[in-house]
Structure 1
């Protein structure tokens, strides 16, 4: 039995989904997701699974909607999006039990083009409450990015306020991480540069979000 295909947001719809996630406009995000669910006759988890930042050429950051509030520490948006990852039964067996819907919880561990998960971004930017929400939703802190670093190591290397606390919390509350930690004294120059590159990528996310928010404020009457 074949599963229903993922809906395809238009470029404008995808841009709006990403924008609202970045800027923390929770009400607009809810309204848009509700509208897309009605238009595509699917549960919100399927809409979320389809909203990956990929352009017409198959490029882009490949980030999910979870990445942006994770980077910016928006706990309300992360909590809302995570709540959508449970397969919905509202529409019954015709839609609520599709393979796409069941796979939606994997988004919490979705890696972008640099291999960073939302947990990488939350930890290295020092957002402990977001880290807790993601781990509670099944985020795996042992996943490594393109630089070969898991979320704990990236958090340990980050200069952002709160990042060290994120690393400590994950070490205390997540199993099997000891083997990936303790490399601070042995990390060579190439490794440090790779970590710095990953942190720079996330700075771009936060700066873009702030700029977008300022633009929105300037347009208000």
Structure 2
């Protein structure tokens, strides 16, 4: 009788399977057809949530952060610029928090675009998202030297400017005036003055609150 000897095989664990599958998501993200990327951006622009969900079902959420247009706008830029709250709320848990502060070729973030287009509820979701950068988003400047607060004021969006001032950390001088504790909200009729500096060192003194907002540009330049 001849003996049959079987070789020893190392057991395949669930961890080993995960290690094998992990690179597949990266490979898939890099092989998405351009047409599908463009369709996703358009779906985000027009708020077609079902089409966005179909993209995720096909390629997985790992593919979402890599999708940008020629101006480096992300999917969050698209939904924020056009005020699509349902799509934004769907996407935020699926993307890394760094995408909230991602800047396009002009240096603008999704919050800049929400401010430019006066989408208050979108701005609130971006700033108050629990896993995001929070109020730090309000301080990011684009290549023109404008923060989202500056964009709100320069475009005459007083409601948004008051919201930003109410939640952001103001300097000691403004804090002494009763705002800027991080959770403050301007009372009706209350007015404060904020100085905003652009990329060229121009200072704009902006009064927020009261019956109307006023903007006065100064010729002073930063040192």
1:22 deviates by 0.5
Structure 2 gaps, min length 5: 1-21, 175-193, 197-204, 207-214
Cα distance in 2 for partners of 1:180, 1:121 equals: 21
Q: Higher helix share goes to which structure?
A: 1
Supply the RMSD in Å over aligned alpha carbons: 2.2
Match of 1:72 among 47, 61, 82: 82
2:64 counterpart of 1:51: no
Q: Larger radius of gyration, structure 1 or 2?
A: 2
Q: Which residue of 1 aligns with 2:169?
A: 175
- TM-score, structure 1 as length reference: 0.63
Cα distance in 2 for partners of 1:176, 1:80 equals: 31
Q: Which structure has the higher relative contact order (CA within 8 Å, separation 6+)?
A: 1
Match of 1:141 among 138, 141, 149: 138
Cα distance in 1 for partners of 2:121, 2:149 equals: 15
Structure 1 gaps, min length 5: 38-43, 54-59, 86-103, 189-221
- TM-score, structure 2 as length reference: 0.63
1:187 deviates by 5.0
1:75 deviates by 1.0
2:124 counterpart of 1:132: yes
Q: Which residue of 1 aligns with 2:186?
A: none
1:174 deviates by 2.0
Is the partner of 2:139 in helix, strand or coil?
Answer: coil
Give a deviation string over 1:102-123, Cα, whole Å, max 9, x none.
xx21000100011110000101
